[in-house]
A and B are shown apart, each in its own frame.
Chain A
Amino acid sequence: MSASAAQKVDPAHATLWARHYPGHDMIGTRTFGFWLYMLTDAMVYAALFATLGVLSHVVNLAGGPSPSAFINPVYAYGETITLFLSVLIYGYSMVALKNGNRGGVIGSMFVAMLLGVIYLVIAGIDIGNMFAHGVTPQVSGFLSIFFTVIIYHALHILVGVVWMLVMMVQIAREGFSANVVYRLINLRLFWHFQAVIWVFVFTFVYLQGMVA
């Protein structure tokens, strides 16, 4: 990375054309681009958490229920267990990929996907309960952001589940082609990132909500 002056190339012996250039690293480029996308998603979460911070004043409750009244720690913890477990199992799927083990990849991914579905069921029950008790996003500014964060996160899990389904079909069909491999790595980045995001959601929405 030094300035060009320090790397003067002798014109008489310079290489002008990169013959037989194998091209850029397609997989590395695509996973890098996807990682950039994940970071923009993280920025969305940052904006949502900023909003959460702003709308956590008592005025934003608008006389409605405060989180300590309606947050059910059992469901939140259940979601934590299922999600972290799913992330772990998907990790094992990637280890199977490293070893080229098609059955292992599909099998682990299937389990990870099921756990994702269980997460969605738990979230659905939890949110359903809240709605049934009149705790809805239309009640107050605070509840608006509360539900937006947890539903936005649940949407990611849904997308991940669908993606895993599609990947299982693609692996069965194509095997480990370059396209399938980079998509699996992208899915790993996506899915594992959900664990990181969940730590923030669990801590700042649920745990700190419980003691607000």
Chain B
Amino acid sequence: MTEHMQNPLNHPEVQLANGRAYLASFIISMLLMTVGLWLAVAHITTPFGTVLMTSFLAGVVVIIQGYFILHMDISHAQMWHTVAMVLFLPLFVVTIGLTAWMFHGLYQRTMIMPPAASSMAHVPSMPH
């Protein structure tokens, strides 16, 4: 630990920089995001299917990025970073998930849907 006092560049968090990992992450992320874009633009499947597939792709990309560019591993230098992230992840799920569950139920109970209520795309006028 004392070496850091002498030369900060020897600190493990500096030394873990890895050019190949960064490049790999870039390539994979670009690839999968392009696939996702194609899925959405070309309307390959139903909207719900697109939502599912793009969400899945996003999940994969994020895990890859987490490992390669955020260095989320359990090495000694990065252990606490990973622990902190692992602590937060369920809370993200809870915040978004429980909110979604709450409002889904609420909408079912309180939103009276008019019959032709799908996309309201081309109504740009805004009452003020």
Smallest distance from the beta carbon of A40 to chain B beta carbons, Å? 9
Residues of B within 8 A of A (CB-CB), count: 69
CA distance A138 to B128 in the complex (A): 9
Q: How far is the CA of A81 from the CA of B36 in the complex (A)?
A: 14
Tell me the complex Cα distance, A203–B47, Å.
Answer: 13
Measured CA separation A27–B120 after assembly (Å): 53
* Known A-B contacts A27-B8, A199-B61; A58 and B117 likewise in contact (beta carbons under 8 Å): yes
**A59 close to chain B: CB less than 8 A:** yes
* A195 touching B96, Cβ below 8 Å: no
As a 0/1 sequence over residues 188 to 207 of chain A, the CB contacts with chain B under 8 angstroms (1 = contact) are 11001101100110111011
A28 touches B57 (CB 8 A): no
Question: Per-residue CB proximity of A32-67 to B under 8 Å, as 1/0?
Answer: 100110010011001101100110011101111110
Is A65 touching B117 in the complex (CB atoms < 8 A)?
no
The range of chain A's interface size is: 35 or more
Which interface residue of A81, A140, A181 has the most chain B CB atoms within 10 A?
A181
Which chain B residues lie closer than 8 Å to A202 at the CB level?
A: 33, 36, 58
Q: Are A63 and B123 in contact (CB under 8 A)?
A: yes
Interface positions, chain B 1-59, Cβ under 8 Å from A, are 1-2, 4-5, 8-9, 11-15, 17-19, 21-23, 25-26, 29-30, 33-34, 36-37, 39-41, 43, 47, 50-51, 54-55, 57-58
**Cβ-defined partner of B95 (8 Å) among A50, A57, A210:** A50
Considering only CB atoms, which chain A residue lies closest to B11 in the complex?
A27
- Nearest-neighbor residue (CB-CB) of B50 within chain A: A211
- Contact with B80, one of A32, A91, A97, A139 (Cβ below 8 angstroms): A32
The interface centre, meaning the residue of A39, A73, A140 with most chain B CB atoms within 10 A of its CB, is A39
Which residues of A sit under 8 angstroms from B61, Cβ to Cβ?
199
Whether B22 and A88, one on each chain, are in contact in the complex, defined by CB atoms closer than 8 angstroms, is yes
Q: Is A124 an interface residue (CB 8 A)?
A: no
| Per-residue B-contact encoding for A61-81, CB less than 8 Å = 1, 0 else | 111111011000100110011
Residues of B within 8 A of A49 (CB): 96
Complex contact A199–B100 (CB within 8 A): no
Check B74 for interface membership: any CB of A closer than 8 A: no
Q: In angstroms, how far is the closest chain A Cβ from the Cβ of B126? A: 5
Of residues 52 through 100 on chain B, the ones whose CB sits less than 8 Å from some CB of chain A are 54-55, 57-58, 61-62, 65-66, 69-70, 77, 80-81, 84-85, 88, 91-92, 95-96, 99-100
Interface, chain B (partner A; CB < 8 A): 1-2, 4-5, 8-9, 11-15, 17-19, 21-23, 25-26, 29-30, 33-34, 36-37, 39-41, 43, 47, 50-51, 54-55, 57-58, 61-62, 65-66, 69-70, 77, 80-81, 84-85, 88, 91-92, 95-96, 99-100, 103, 107, 111, 113, 117-127
Q: Which residues of chain A have a CB within 8 Å of any CB of chain B?
A: 22-23, 25-28, 31-32, 35-36, 39, 42-43, 46-47, 49-50, 53-54, 57-59, 61-66, 68-69, 73, 76-77, 80-81, 84-85, 87-88, 91-92, 94-95, 97-98, 100, 133-135, 138-140, 176-178, 180-182, 185, 188-189, 192-193, 195-196, 199-200, 202-204, 206-208, 210-212
